[in-house]
C-alpha cells in the first residue's frame, strides 16, 4: 500500500536524497501534457511538488497522468531528481500513480480567485485548498495552542463549561433559544458564570478555549454568531491590572507563536509578510475611557460621557495610538457602568472586601477594560463584583430578574474571593494579525445570519 510509505512534500523537498524513491500524496493542482511527458503539480498541506510521468519510464504512470482531472486525489511513487525547471529545483519522476479519488468538474477555482466570499464559503472545502486561504485556519490553531500552553505554564486549570444554559449570561436578547426537553434553554453567550464558579470552587485560576454564541443580526466584517473565545478567570487579584497583565501575556504568546511556528512562518512569509513585522510591546499602553473621549473629540468624533466607543471610535483610537506611539495594541480602561454587564465591579473603595454599605467613588465607571488590536476590540475583561448583596442590586439595576440567577448568587453567599478575568476573541486576533478584511476568513466554517450551510 503506497500510503504506508507516504512523506510530506515539504519534507521530501527539504530532506530527500536525489536518486532515492519516495511516496507523496495529495491533490492534483495542475496537469500539463506534452506528448510522451506529463507534468503534474501535486499539493498537500505542507507544499507543492512537480511530478513527471514519462512514457518511456512507466507507460502505466504516464497513461494515468494523462487522464487526471484537477483536484483528484493521488498517491505517487517515484525517484527524486534535481531539476532547475521544477518547483523548488526538485521533482519526482513517477513510477506509479494511484488515483485515490477522481474529482468531478469543479464549481469554483480552488481559492475562489474569481468568486465572491459568499460563494467561496459555500464551497469552503475547495476554497481552503488555496494555501493563502488555509493560512488563517492554521494560524488560529497555532494561536490557540500557544494560549493553552501559556495558561498551563502559569498555573491555570483548563475547564469545560456548559454550552446549554438556563438563562442569558450577559442579560439582554442576544441569545439563541433552544428547546431542552420540555424547558426553554439558551446557547451560552460566554462561559462567564461558570468560570467564576471555578474560582469560587477553589480552582482559583481557570481557562477555557471554546465556542460562544451571539444572536446578533450583524452583517459587518467583524462579527460572527458563533466564535471561539479564549476565556480565563483568576481569584485573589489585587485589582484589574492583574487581569490586564495576563491578557498581555496570552495575546503576546499567541502572536509570537504564529510568527515563529514552523507550520505558519513559511505561509506568512509568502502570503502575509506584514504579520511578521508586528512587535507586541512588553507592556501595552493604557488609556482611560475618559481620556479616550478627549482624544477622539480632538480627532473630530463626539461621544457621550457614558457611551461605548463603537466601531468608529475603536478604529480612530487605534489609529491614534499606532500613529503617535507606534503601539498596535492598547488597553482602554474604566468603561461606563451603563455599557458593562451586571457582574462588573464599579469603582469603589476597598474593592477587595464586601462592605455592608459600599462607598462608590465613581459609580458611573467600572474596573473593566477592552484591548484594541489595530483599532478592533479583541478582548474584554475586568474585575468582577464578588459581594452577593451588591451583585443582586446590580442585577436589578440592569432590569434583570434575580430569580433567574439564584444559583449564581448562591455561590457568592458561600465564600467568593475577589476575582476577575477576560475573554479574548481568537478569530479577531488572527484577523488583525494577518490583516484580513473579513473575520469569516479566520474561521473554517463561519456562522452569521446568512450562513447555516455547510
Among the residue ranges 145-154, 208-217, 369-378, the one predicted with the least confidence is 208-217
Query: What is the fold, at CATH topology level, of the domain defined by 122-442?
Result: BirA Bifunctional Protein; domain 2 (3.30.930)
Exposure string for 3-26, b = 16+ CB within 10 A, e = fewer: eeebbbbbebbeebeeeeebbbbb
Q: What is the band of 211 on the pLDDT scale with cuts at 50, 70, 90?
A: very high
Spatial distance between the Cα atoms of 128 and 272, rounded to a whole number of angstroms: 16
DSSP letter string, 15-40? HPPTTSEEEEEEEEEEEEEETTEEEE
Mean pLDDT of 399-406: 90
| pLDDT for position 105 | 94
| pLDDT for position 170 | 63
Task: Using alpha carbons, select from 428, 342, 341 the residue that is nearest to residue 379.
Answer: 428
Using CA atoms, how far residue 423 sits from 100, 102, 211, 274, 396, in Å, is 43, 44, 11, 26, 24
| pLDDT for position 250 | 98
Backbone angles phi, psi at 44, to 5 degrees: -120, -175
Q: What is the band of 452 on the pLDDT scale with cuts at 50, 70, 90?
A: confident
pLDDT > 70: percent of the chain: 98
Dihedral sign, CA of 22, 25, 30, 34?
positive
Q: Where are the domains of the chain?
A: 2-101, 122-442
Spatial distance between the Cα atoms of 92 and 50, rounded to a whole number of angstroms: 6
Q: Where are the beta strands (DSSP E) in 215-366?
A: 226-235, 286-288, 329-333, 346-348, 360-366
435: which strand partners?
Answer: none
pLDDT in tens, 240-294: 999 999 999 999 999 999 999 999 999 999 999 999 999 999 899 999 999 999 9
The dihedral over CA atoms of 361, 363, 368, 370, expressed in degrees to the nearest 10, equals -120
| pLDDT for position 113 | 73
Q: What is the band of 404 on the pLDDT scale with cuts at 50, 70, 90?
A: confident
- Taking the mean position of all CA atoms in its chain, how far away is CA 268? 16
Q: What is the band of 357 on the pLDDT scale with cuts at 50, 70, 90?
A: confident
Q: Name the CATH superfamily, with its identifier, for domain 2-101.
A: Nucleic acid-binding proteins (2.40.50.140)
- Taking the mean position of all CA atoms in its chain, how far away is CA 198? 24
pLDDT in tens, 406-449: 999 999 999 999 999 999 999 999 999 999 999 999 999 999 98
State the pTM of this model.
0.94
| pLDDT for position 169 | 61
Dihedral sign, CA of 349, 350, 351, 355?
negative
Q: What is the band of 173 on the pLDDT scale with cuts at 50, 70, 90?
A: low
Mean pLDDT of 90-106: 96
Among the residue ranges 96-110, 212-226, 307-321, 419-433, the one predicted with the least confidence is 212-226
**Grid cell for residue 151:** 495558561
Q: What is the band of 166 on the pLDDT scale with cuts at 50, 70, 90?
A: confident
Q: What's the whole-number average pLDDT of the chain? A: 94
Spatial distance between the Cα atoms of 405 and 409, rounded to a whole number of angstroms: 6
| pLDDT for position 172 | 60
Task: Using alpha carbons, select from 135, 70, 143, 60 the residue that is nearest to residue 97.
Answer: 60
**Grid cell for residue 295:** 482624544
Spatial distance between the Cα atoms of 315 and 376, rounded to a whole number of angstroms: 6
Task: Using alpha carbons, select from 425, 368, 89, 120 the residue that is nearest to residue 250.
Answer: 425
| pLDDT for position 171 | 59
| pLDDT for position 419 | 98
Is residue 451's pLDDT more than 90? no
Amino acid at each position: 500500500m503506497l500510503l504506508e510509505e507516504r512523506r510530506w512534500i515539504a519534507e521530501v523537498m527539504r530532506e530527500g536524497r536525489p536518486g532515492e524513491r519516495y511516496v507523496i500524496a495529495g491533490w492534483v493542482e495542475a496537469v500539463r501534457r506534452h506528448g510522451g511527458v506529463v507534468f503534474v503539480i501535486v499539493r498537500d498541506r505542507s507544499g507543492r511538488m512537480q511530478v513527471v510521468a514519462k512514457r518511456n519510464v512507466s507507460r502505466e504512470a504516464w497513461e494515468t497522468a494523462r487522464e487526471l482531472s484537477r483536484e483528484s486525489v493521488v498517491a505517487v511513487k517515484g525517484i527524486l531528481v534535481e531539476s532547475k525547471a521544477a518547483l523548488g529545483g526538485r521533482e519526482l519522476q513517477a513510477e506509479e500513480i494511484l488515483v485515490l479519488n477522481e474529482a468531478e468538474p469543479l464549481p469554483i477555482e480552488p481559492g475562489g480567485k474569481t468568486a465572491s466570499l459568499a460563494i467561496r464559503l459555500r464551497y469552503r472545502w475547495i476554497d481552503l485548498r488555496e494555501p493563502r486561504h488555509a493560512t488563517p485556519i492554521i494560524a488560529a490553531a497555532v494561536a490557540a495552542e500557544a494560549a493553552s500552553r501559556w495558561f498551563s505554564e502559569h498555573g491555570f486549570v483548563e475547564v469545560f463549561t456548559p454550552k446549554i444554559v438556563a438563562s442569558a449570561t450577559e442579560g439582554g436578547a442576544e441569545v439563541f433559544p433552544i428547546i431542552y426537553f420540555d424547558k426553554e434553554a439558551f446557547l451560552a453567550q460566554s462561559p462567564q458564570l461558570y468560570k467564576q464558579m471555578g474560582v469560587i470552587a477553589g480552582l482559583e485560576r481557570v481557562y477555557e478555549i471554546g465556542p460562544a454564541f451571539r444572536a446578533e443580526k450583524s452583517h459587518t466584517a467583524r462579527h460572527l454568531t458563533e466564535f471561539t473565545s479564549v476565556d480565563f478567570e483568576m481569584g485573589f487579584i489585587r485589582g484589574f491590572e492583574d487581569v490586564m497583565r495576563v491578557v498581555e501575556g496570552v495575546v503576546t504568546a499567541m502572536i509570537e507563536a504564529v510568527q515563529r511556528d514552523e507550520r505558519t512562518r513559511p505561509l506568512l512569509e509568502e502570503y502575509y509578510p506584514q504579520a511578521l513585522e508586528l512587535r507586541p510591546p512588553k507592556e501595552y499602553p493604557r488609556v482611560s475611557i475618559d481620556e479616550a473621549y478627549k482624544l477622539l473629540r480632538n480627532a473630530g468624533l463626539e461621544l457621550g460621557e457614558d457611551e461605548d466607543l463603537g466601531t468608529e471610535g475603536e478604529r480612530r483610537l487605534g489609529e491614534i495610538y499606532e500613529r503617535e506611539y507606534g503601539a498596535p495594541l492598547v488597553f482602554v480602561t474604566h468603561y461606563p457602568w451603563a455599557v458593562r454587564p451586571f457582574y462588573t465591579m464599579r469603582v469603589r473603595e476597598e474593592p477587595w472586601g464586601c462592605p455592608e454599605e459600599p462607598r462608590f467613588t465613581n459609580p458611573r465607571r467600572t474596573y473593566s477594560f477592552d484591548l484594541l488590536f489595530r483599532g478592533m476590540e479583541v478582548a474584554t475583561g475586568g474585575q468582577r463584583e464578588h459581594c452577593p448583596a451588591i451583585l443582586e442590586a446590580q442585577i436589578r439595576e440592569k432590569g434583570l430578574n434575580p430569580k433567574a440567577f439564584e444559583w449564581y448568587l448562591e455561590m457568592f453567599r458561600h465564600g467568593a474571593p475577589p476575582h476577575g478575568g477576560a475573554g479574548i476573541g481568537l478569530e479577531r486576533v488572527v484577523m488583525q494579525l494577518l490583516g484580513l478584511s473579513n473575520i469569516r476568513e479566520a474561521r473554517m466554517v463561519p456562522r452569521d445570519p446568512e450562513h447555516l450551510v455547510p
